[in-house]
Amino acid sequence: MRFAKWIFIIVLILKDSPVWGADATFFAGYQNPGKLTREVVIGSISQAFAADAGGGLLGIRLSSSRPIGFETGFAYSPHFLTSDQKSLQIHTNLLAQFPGKISPYGTVGIGLLSTWGGEINSAGSLAESIFNFGTRFAFNYGGGIKLKNMAGPFGLRFDMRGYSAPGVYGSTLNIFEMSAGALISW
């Protein structure tokens, strides 16, 4: 009980402090993978990307409301590169943003991009896709705008990012992402 009392006192002290401020964004978006930076031995990957490339994604971003802070994001794509390929993206970013209700920002960070999946073949078993490259380190950069407290703690967020994943078949996979989401500030 003593521990709970101290937690309550700390929350009361910090609740109006800029240290306490943060936000969460639940977003949906679209990713468009570009071509690999060079041709690979496994057929013509760039042609396959162009034929069945882009896909949607869902995720959450948690960030501080400070002018210079950090952000962590998680995103899932049920159709990454091909209709039978899935991906999970996890990243941590440095975030620079203007304070206020309308808050433009820029971000840069690192993370992991993981793929899995394949198609069910005629025998009824899972045939691994050539696009299943496992887990790779990735860089990302971008920016957007947060429209905070439009209706109480609720607002909107619009974001554009580029991802670069080196080591995909000995090359670099570049991805462009656009997203929009519901923002909750506290």
pLDDT of residue 143: 97
Residue 182 has pLDDT above 70, yes or no: yes
Q: Which amino acid is at 91?
A: H
The β-bridge partners of 126 are 120
Residue 169 has pLDDT above 90, yes or no: no
pLDDT of residue 154: 96
98 or 44, which is more confident:
98
Closest-CA residue to 142 (of 166, 178, 111):
178
> Cβ distance 112 to 92 under 8 Å?
no
Torsion of Cα atoms, 55 then 58 then 27 then 30, to 10°: -10
pTM to 2 decimal places: 0.79
Which of the residue ranges 35-44, 51-60, 76-85, 105-114 would you say has the lowest mean pLDDT? 35-44
| Dmax (CA) of the chain | 65
- DSSP class per residue in 106-119: EEEEEEEEEEEEEE
Average pLDDT over residues 159-167: 94
20 or 61, which is more confident:
61
pLDDT of residue 170: 78
Compute the distance between CA of residue 101 and CA of residue 104 in angstroms, rounded to an integer.
10
Compute the distance between CA of residue 135 and CA of residue 64 in angstroms, rounded to an integer.
27
pLDDT of residue 47: 46
Average pLDDT over residues 116-132: 64
Average pLDDT over residues 57-80: 92
Contacts of 13 (CB under 8 A, 6+ apart): none
Q: Give all domains of the chain, ordered by start, each with its CATH number.
A: 19-185 (2.40.160.20)
Average pLDDT over residues 31-58: 64
SS3 for 138-174, per residue?
A: EEEEEEEEEEEEEECCEEEEEEEEEEEEEEECCEEEE
pLDDT of residue 35: 67
Mean pLDDT (the chain, rounded): 82
